[in-house]
Amino acid sequence: MWERGRTNFAQLQRRVTAGRGLLRLARDCPTHYVLFDLLADTGGQVILDRPLSERRDRLERLLAGAPAALTLTPQTGDMRLVADWLMHWTVATGIEGVVTKQLGGRHEPGWRNWWKYHTRITTEAIVGGVTGSLARSITKLSPASQQGIAAIIDNLLRVEEAARESGKNT
């Protein structure tokens, strides 16, 4: 999903879990489908064995005149342009990086013959804090976070108890 010229993954997650509000979100926050490869033609014929250059040509012809919500990824063989994309475009738009594939490469299921270059490394985490004692926590967390934090606390308590027990035995 695009918002003010940048990707917005949180907005996409809202759409996925919207339930009754989905129609409103679909109207207010339209999505785009970004295409980069074609694995079967419009007749359903699998074209995995064809080189990427041919699959890409077919995809470009297929998308000629398509609505703006169907977007073809940019493609280039110019490494200076790729470097520019990595340093400027990906950062400005929030895109993770670039993918490289060989133009003559075939798509082989179960075999990764492409490479992805990230501009930054990210991670997702649930962060929580406990005030007071563990038995009388006054921290408010969402139900999903509570389950995650509860599991973490249970594990920490088990480790702490095991450490105490092993300390008694030494």
C-alpha 90/C-alpha 97 separation (Å) is 6
C-alpha 156/C-alpha 107 separation (Å) is 45
**pLDDT attached to residue 126:** 56
Q: Is beta strand 70-72 parallel, antiparallel or unpaired with respect to 33-35?
A: parallel
Residue type, 135: A
- Retrieve residue 26's tokens: 């679909």
Residue 1 CA, distance from chain mean position: 11
Q: Which of 79-83, 109-113, 129-133, 134-138 has the highest mean pLDDT?
A: 79-83
- Retrieve residue 22's tokens: 């989905």
Q: Give the DSSP per-residue string, 3-41.
A: ETTEE-HHHHHHHHT-GGGHHHHHHHS---EEE---SB-
C-alpha 170/C-alpha 168 separation (Å) is 6
Tens digit of each residue's pLDDT (9 = 90 or more) over 38-91: 999 888 999 999 999 999 999 999 999 999 888 898 898 898 998 888 888 888
Domain chopping of the chain, boundaries: 32-118, 126-170
**Which DSSP category does 96 fall into?**
-
Length of the chain: 170
Helices (H), 17-142: 22-28, 52-63, 79-84, 90-93
**pLDDT attached to residue 58:** 95
